[in-house]
C-alpha cells in the first residue's frame, strides 16, 4: 500500500470529466461500477459479518450457559473476552496471520473475538437481572430447573441479549471494513483501492456510505425483531 | 511459530525504530483523545446534569458505533488531504461517542435522592455537579474514556494508510519490514492499548466514590 | 389435578443453617385442619417465611417432618409437590413476559391442560378475584400493585391446590387497598375453602384473617398456637402479650359482631347494621356522643337497640 503524497496526478482513465478531475461525487462512475465492484463487495461484506455474528453468537451463548450455571467461571471468561477486545483489530489480524495465513479464517477469528465480549456480557447480565421473586414464583409453581430457564429466565433476558446482538452486529459490520488488510473482500476493498489510486473520492464516499448504511439497516432490523419478540417490554 | 520468534528478533534488532514509531503513535492518539475530551466531556456532563439531550447522547453512540474506522480515516483524507488534521479529525470523531454518552449517563442516572439532598443543603447547580454527581458517576465516565482510548490507539494504526505516522506505518508496509516486522509492530500496538486500558482501570479503582475526600 | 383441602402437619420441623448459631425454625409442631387459615405471625426475621418455605421445599428441612394429608413432603417428587401447592409472595413475582392469562395458566399448562381449558379457567379466576375479563390479554407492567396481587392469587388458585402458602401477600400494598383485598380474600376463602398458611408481621391482619394464629418468636420457636380470641384473652406469656399489644382487649372486641349479642327493644339513636363489629359500634357511639345505637337488619329496618353498657359487658 502506497501512501498518497505529493501532488495528485489525476489518472482516472477514460471516464467522464468528473472522474478525470476526481470530483466529489460522480454518479456515472457509481452506475458503471455498481455491478462489477460495489454490489459484489456489499454481498461479501454481509457474508463476512453474518458468519462472524452467527458463530460468535453460538459460542457466546454456550459460554453464557456455562458462566450462568457455574458462577465461578464467569470472571475468567469475562477477563479473557475483555482481553481480546482490547487488541486493536488490525494488529490482531496481523498477529493471526503466522498461524492461520492470508485466509478468510484469519478474518473470521478476529471478528468473532470482538463479538464475544459484547454478546457474552449482555447475555450474562440479562440472565442475572431476572428478578429473584419471579424465579422464586416459578420454582414455587413447580417449574423444573430446565423449565425455569427456558420459560422464564431466557425470555426475560431476551431484551438484553438482543441489545447485545445489535451492538455486536453494528461493530462487526464496522470492523469487517478492515478485512482487505488480509484478504480482498468486503466494502473495505473499494475504499482501500481508492486510497491507493490517488484518493478517488467518489469510490470512498460511496463504499463508506454503504458500510454505514448497512450497519444502520442491520441495527434497524434487529430493533424490529426486538419489538416483535418482546412485546411485554413496551407494555 | 517461527514468525513469532522472528518478530521478537525484529524487536531486539530495531529498538530505535519501534520506539520512534511508538512515540509518534502516542502523539497522534494523545492529541486526538485530548481534543475529544475537551469537546465531549463538558458537554456530556452538563447535558447529564440538566437531564436533557437524551436523544443526542444515545444517538451519538448508536451512530458512532456504525462509523467504521477505515471509513473515517478515508473520509478524513478525502476532505482534508494529507496533513495533521485528516487523521486527527477522524480519530476525534471516533473518540467522542463513548466519552459523551458515558459522561451523560453517568450524571443522568445519579441517585436522585442524593442530588435532591445536595440541592436541599443549598449547593448551586455547579457545586452539585462537581461535588456530588461527578464523584458518584466517575467510574462510568472513566469507563467511557477507557473505551475511547482503546478505539483511538487501534485506529491510529490504520491512519498510516492516510499519511499518518506511528506503528501503523510498519504494519501496512510488509514489503519493507517483512512479516516479522508487521507482527512485531502489531504486538507493540496491542501492548500500548493494554497499557492505556490498564492505566484507566487503575485510575477508576482509586477514584471510586468511597475514596473521595470531603472538601 | 389436586382438589379440595388438605390437612397440614408440622412435626418437630427444624431448619438450621451450617455455621450459624441457633435454628431458623426450631422444633415447630402444629396442625392446620383442612380448610382453615393458619396465620404465622411474629416479629420480622423470626423464621416465619423460612417455616413457610419448608412446606414447598424451597428450603429443605434439617430435621423433623411436614406432612400434607399424611404424606411427608420429603417423600414426594419436588416438582409434583410444588405444583400441588398454591404459592403467593409479597413481591407477587408475576412473569413479566407473559400475559395475565398466561400467568394464571402457569400451573394448568405444566399439567398439560389444553389452551381452551386454560382460557376458560383464567376468565373464571379473574372474575373470582374481582378483575374484569378484559385483563386477560394485558401484561403485568400495565397493572397496579393491588391488581397484580389479585392476579398472583388467581395464579396460585389455578391448579386448584388443596393447600395455599401466602407470604405477606398484602404487605406491599397501601392500607386502603389492603383492607379491601383482605375482605375479598376472606369472601373468596368462604367459597373455595382451602387450607391456607399465611405469613404476616401485622398482628391486626393476623387477627382479621386467621382461624388460628401461630405466634412465632425470634429463633423460629412457637410461642402460642390458638384461635385469635383465645390468644387475645389469654396470652401464653409476656412475649405474646407484648407482641399483640396493650390494646388487646380492644382488639378482642373486633372479633364479635352485634349479631352475636342480645339486642334490646328498638330505640332512637345512630343506626348501625347487624354485621358491625363491637369495636366499630363503640367507636360510632363515641363519635356521635350517644348512649344507645339503633340496630338495623340487611334491609335497613330497625330491629333492636344496644346500649353502651351492653356493648362493654
Distance, in Å, from the CA atom of A165 to the CA atom of A137, rounded to the nearest integer, reads 29
* C-alpha cell recorded at residue B199: 492505566
| Nearest CA-CA partner of A180 in A195, A200, A166 | A195
Q: At what angle do helices C115-128 and C145-157 cross, to 10 degrees?
A: 130
Of C80, C93, C142, the CB nearest to A136: C93
The list of chain A residues with pLDDT below 50 reads 1-10
Q: What is the dihedral of CA A146, A151, A157, A162, to 10 degrees?
A: 110
The answer, yes or no, to whether residue B28 has pLDDT greater than 80, is yes
Compute the nearest-CA separation of A133 from chain B (Å). 24
Nearest residue of A to residue C92, measured between CA atoms: A133
What pLDDT was estimated at residue A16?
A: 67
Tell me the count of A-C CB pairs closer than 8 A.
71
pLDDT for C3 equals 57
Tell me which chain B residues have a C-beta less than 8 angstroms from the C-beta of A91: 154, 157, 171, 185-187, 189-190, 193
CB within 8 Å of chain A, chain B residues 40-79: 62-63, 65-71, 74-75, 77-78
ipTM: 0.78
pLDDT digits (tens, 9 = 90+) for C117-138: 999 999 999 998 889 999 999 9
Interchain CB distance below 8 Å, C82 and A142: yes
Residue of A174, A175, A204 with shortest CB distance to B75: A204
DSSP-assigned letter for residue A102: S
Q: How far apart are CA B187 and CA B12, in angstroms?
A: 13
CATH 1.10.3720.10 applies to domain A33-234: yes
C12 strand-pairing partners: none
Contact between chains at B194 and A178 (C-beta distance less than 8 A): no
Average pLDDT across chain C, whole number: 89
Contact C97 A142 (CB under 8 A): no
Look at residue C31 and tell me if it is in a domain. yes
Residue range B80-98: average pLDDT? 87
> Cβ neighbours of residue C79 under 8 Å, at least 6 residues apart?
A142, A143, A144
What's the pLDDT score for residue A7? 43
- Look up the domain containing C306 and give its range: 258-312
> What is the gyration radius of the CA atoms in chain A, in angstroms?
22
Q: How far is B5 from chain A (nearest CA, A)?
A: 11
- Greatest mean pLDDT among A23-27, C9-13, C263-267 lies in C9-13
Say if the Cβ atoms of A170 and B65 lie within 8 Å: yes
Shared-domain flag, residues C91 and C237:
yes
Distance CA A26, CA C306 (A): 102
Position A2 scores a pLDDT of 41
Domains of chain B: 2-211 (1.10.3720.10)
CATH of residue C186: 3.40.50.300
What is the phi-psi region of residue A186: left when phi exceeds 0, alpha when psi lies from -120 to 50, beta otherwise? left
Domain ranges (residues) in chain A: 33-234
Asked whether the beta carbons of C95 and C102 are under 8 A apart, the reply is: yes
In chain C, residues with a C-beta closer than 8 Å to the C-beta of A142 are 79-84, 107, 110
pLDDT grade for B118, boundaries at 50, 70 and 90: confident
- Are the CB atoms for A207 and A40 separated by under 8 Å? no
Query: In the structure grid, which three cell numbers stand for residue B50, read together?
Result: 440538566
Q: What pLDDT was estimated at residue B135? A: 87
- Beta strand pairing call for C85-89 and C163-167: parallel
- B-A interface (Cβ pairs under 8 Å ≥ 3): yes
Residue A1 confidence (pLDDT): 40
Helix (H, G, I), strand (E, B) or coil at C66: strand
Q: Mark whether C240 and C267 lie in a shared domain.
A: no
What is the bridge-based pairing of β-strands C195-200 and C163-167?
A: parallel
Q: Give the model confidence (pLDDT) of C23-41 as tens digits.
A: 999 999 999 999 999 999 9
For helices A74-86 and B174-206, angle between their N-to-C axes, nearest 10 degrees: 130
Mark yes or no for CB contact A173/B3 under 8 Å: no
Same domain membership, residue C219 and residue C71: yes
> Pick from C79, C96, C138: which is nearest to A142 by CB?
C79
Mean pLDDT (whole number) for C188-214: 92
Q: Which of B106, B105, B108, B200 is nearest to B152 (CA)?
A: B200
Is there a contact between A141 and C89 if contact means CB atoms under 8 Å apart?
no
Please state the domain count of chain C: 2
pLDDT in tens, C274-301: 888 888 888 888 888 888 888 888 888 8
CB contact under 8 A, A136 and C142: no
- In this structure, are strands C292-296 and C302-307 parallel, antiparallel, or unpaired? antiparallel
What is the pLDDT at residue C104? Answer: 93
Cross-chain residue pair A219–B197, CB shorter than 8 Å: no
Closest to C282 measured CA to CA, from C246, C250, C305: C250
State percent of chain C over pLDDT 70.
99
Q: How many CB atoms lie within 10 A of CB A220?
A: 11
| Distances from the Cα of B178 to the Cα of A2, B10, B175, angstroms | 15, 10, 6
Query: DSSP of A50-79, one letter per residue?
Result: HHHHHHHHHHHHHHHHHHHHSGGGHHHHHH
Q: Do chains B and C touch (3 or more CB pairs under 8 A)?
A: no
User: Do C53 and C77 fall within a single domain?
Assistant: yes
Residue C2 lies in a domain: no
Residue of A nearest to C141 (CA): A235
Residues C277 and C206 grouped into a single domain:
no
Mean pLDDT of B6-14: 84
Task: Tell me the residues of A at the C interface, defined by beta carbons under 8 Å apart.
Answer: 131, 133-144, 147, 152, 155-156, 158, 230-232, 235
Verify that C269 and C242 share a domain, yes or no: no
**CB contact set of A12 (below 8 Å; sequence gap of 6+):** A19, A20, A22, A197, A200
**Which CATH number belongs to the domain containing residue C285 in this structure?**
3.10.580.10
* Cβ-based contacts of C85 with chain A (< 8 Å): 140
Position C252 in a domain: no
- 3-state secondary structure string, chain B? CHHHHHHHHHHHHCHHHHHHHHHHHHHHHHHHHHHHHHHHHHHHHHHHHHCCCHHHHHHHHHHHHHCCHHHHHHHHHHHHCCCCHHHHHHHHHHHHHHHHHHHHHHHHCCCHHHHHHHHHCCCCHHHHHHHHHHHHHHHHHHHHHHHHHHHHHHHHHHHHHHCCCCCHHHHCCHHHHHHHHHHHHHHHHHHHHHHHHHHHHHHHHHCCHHHCCCC
Q: Answer yes or no: do B161 and A192 touch at CB < 8 A.
A: yes
Question: What is the pLDDT averaged over residues B190-214?
Answer: 76
- Is residue B208 over pLDDT 70? no
CB contact under 8 A, A4 and B77: yes
Among the listed residues C101, C69, C107, the one whose alpha carbon sits nearest the alpha carbon of residue C88:
C107
Contact A88 B154 (CB under 8 A): yes
How confident is the model over B158-185, as a mean pLDDT? 84
Last residue of a domain, one of C225, C246, C267: C246
Question: Do C95 and C210 fall into the same domain?
Answer: yes
Neighbours of chain A (3+ CB pairs under 8 A): B, C
Residues C117 and C67 in one domain: yes
Do C204 and C113 lie in one domain? The reply is yes
Distance from CA of A31 to the nearest CA of C (A): 49
Chain C residues touching residue A152 (CB < 8 angstroms): 95, 97
Amino acid at each position: 500500500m502506497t501512501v498518497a503524497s505529493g501532488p495528485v496526478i489525476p489518472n482516472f482513465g477514460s471516464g467522464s470529466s468528473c472522474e478525470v478531475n476526481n470530483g466529489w461525487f460522480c454518479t456515472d462512475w457509481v452506475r458503471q461500477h455498481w455491478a462489477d465492484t460495489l454490489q459484489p463487495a456489499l454481498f461479501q461484506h454481509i457474508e463476512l459479518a453474518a458468519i462472524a455474528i452467527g458463530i460468535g453468537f453460538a459460542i457466546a451463548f454456550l459460554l453464557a450457559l456455562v458462566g450462568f450455571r457455574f458462577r465461578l467461571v464467569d470472571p475468567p471468561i469475562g477477563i479473557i473476552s475483555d482481553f481480546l477486545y482490547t487488541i486493536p483489530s488490525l494488529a490482531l489480524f496481523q498477529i493471526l496471520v503466522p498461524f492461520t495465513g492470508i485466509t478468510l479464517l484469519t478474518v473470521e477469528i478476529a471478528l468473532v473475538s470482538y463479538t464475544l465480549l459484547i454478546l457474552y456480557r449482555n447475555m450474562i447480565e440479562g440472565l442475572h437481572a431476572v428478578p429473584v421473586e419471579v424465579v422464586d414464583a416459578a420454582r414455587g409453581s413447580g417449574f423444573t430447573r430446565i423449565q425455569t430457564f427456558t420459560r422464564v429466565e431466557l425470555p426475560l433476558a431476551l431484551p438484553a441479549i438482543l441489545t447485545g446482538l445489535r451492538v455486536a452486529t453494528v461493530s462487526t459490520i464496522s470492523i469487517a471494513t478492515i478485512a482487505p488488510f488480509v484478504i480482498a473482500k468486503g466494502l473495505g476493498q473499494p475504499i482501500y483501492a481508492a486510497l491507493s489510486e490517488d484518493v478517488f473520492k467518489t469510490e470512498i464516499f460511496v463504499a463508506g456510505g454503504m458500510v454505514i448504511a448497512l450497519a444502520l439497516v442491520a441495527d434497524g432490523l434487529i430493533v424490529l425483531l426486538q419489538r416483535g419478540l418482546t412485546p411485554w417490554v413496551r407494555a | 511459530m517461527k514468525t513469532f520468534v522472528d518478530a521478537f528478533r525484529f524487536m531486539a534488532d530495531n529498538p530505535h525504530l519501534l520506539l520512534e514509531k511508538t512515540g509518534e503513535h502516542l502523539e497522534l492518539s494523545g492529541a486526538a483523545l485530548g481534543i475529544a475530551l475537551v469537546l465531549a466531556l463538558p458537554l456530556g456532563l452538563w447535558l447529564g446534569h440538566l437531564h436533557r439531550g437524551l436523544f443526542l447522547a444515545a444517538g451519538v453512540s448508536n451512530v458512532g458505533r456504525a462509523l467504521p474506522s477505515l471509513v473515517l480515516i478515508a473520509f478524513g483524507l478525502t476532505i482534508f488531504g494529507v496533513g495533521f488534521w485528516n487523521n486527527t479529525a477522524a480519530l476525534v470523531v471516533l473518540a467522542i461517542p463513548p466519552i459523551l454518552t458515558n459522561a451523560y449517563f453517568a450524571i443522568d442516572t445519579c441517585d436522585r435522592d442524593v442530588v435532591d439532598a445536595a440541592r436541599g443543603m443549598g449547593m448551586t447547580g455547579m457545586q452539585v455537579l462537581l461535588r456530588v454527581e461527578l464523584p458518584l458517576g466517575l467510574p462510568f465516565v472513566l469507563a467511557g474514556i477507557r473505551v475511547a482510548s482503546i478505539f483511538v490507539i487501534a485506529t491510529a494504526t490504520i491512519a498510516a494508510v492516510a499519511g499518518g505516522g506511528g506503528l501503523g506505518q510498519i504494519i501496512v508496509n510488509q514489503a519493507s519490514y517483512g512479516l516479522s516486522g508487521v507482527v512485531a509492530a502489531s504486538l507493540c500496538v496491542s501492548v500500548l492499548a493494554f497499557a492505556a486500558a490498564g492505566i484507566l482501570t487503575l485510575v477508576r479503582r482509586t477514584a471510586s466514590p468511597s475514596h473521595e475526600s470531603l472538601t | 389435578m389436586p382438589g379440595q383441602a388438605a390437612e397440614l402437619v408440622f412435626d418437630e420441623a427444624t431448619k438450621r443453617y451450617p455455621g450459624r448459631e441457633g435454628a431458623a425454625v426450631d422444633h415447630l409442631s402444629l396442625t392446620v385442619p383442612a380448610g382453615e387459615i393458619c396465620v404465622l405471625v411474629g416479629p420480622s426475621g423470626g423464621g416465619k417465611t423460612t417455616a413457610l418455605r419448608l412446606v414447598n421445599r424451597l428450603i429443605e428441612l434439617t430435621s423433623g417432618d411436614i406432612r400434607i394429608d399424611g404424606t411427608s413432603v420429603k417423600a414426594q417428587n419436588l416438582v409434583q409437590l410444588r405444583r400441588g401447592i398454591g404459592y403467593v409472595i409479597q413481591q407477587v413475582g408475576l412473569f413479566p413476559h407473559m400475559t395475565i392469562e398466561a400467568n394464571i395458566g402457569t400451573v394448568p399448562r405444566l399439567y398439560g391442560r389444553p389452551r381452551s381449558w386454560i382460557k376458560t379457567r383464567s376468565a373464571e379466576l379473574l372474575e373470582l378475584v374481582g378483575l374484569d375479563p378484559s385483563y386477560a390479554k394485558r401484561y403485568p407492567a400495565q397493572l397496579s400493585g393491588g391488581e397484580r396481587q389479585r392476579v398472583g392469587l388467581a395464579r396460585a388458585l389455578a391448579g386448584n391446590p388443596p393447600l395455599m402458602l401466602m407470604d405477606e401477600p398484602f404487605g406491599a400494598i397501601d392500607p386502603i387497598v389492603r383492607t379491601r383485598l383482605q375482605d375479598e380474600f376472606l369472601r373468596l376463602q368462604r367459597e373455595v375453602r382451602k387450607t391456607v398458611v399465611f405469613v404476616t408481621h401485622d398482628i391486626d391482619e393476623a387477627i382479621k384473617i386467621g382461624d388460628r394464629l401461630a405466634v412465632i418468636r425470634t429463633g423460629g420457636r412457637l410461642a402460642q398456637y390458638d384461635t385469635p380470641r383465645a390468644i387475645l384473652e389469654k396470652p401464653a406469656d409476656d412475649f405474646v402479650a407484648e407482641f399483640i399489644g396493650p390494646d388487646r382487649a380492644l382488639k378482642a372486641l373486633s372479633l364479635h359482631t352485634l349479631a352475636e349479642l342480645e339486642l334490646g327493644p328498638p330505640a332512637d339513636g345512630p343506626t348501625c347494621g347487624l354485621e358491625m363489629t363491637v369495636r366499630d359500634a363503640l367507636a360510632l357511639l363515641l363519635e356521635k356522643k350517644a348512649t344507645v345505637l339503633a340496630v338495623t337488619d340487611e334491609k335497613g329496618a330497625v330491629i333492636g337497640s344496644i346500649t353502651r353498657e351492653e356493648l362493654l359487658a
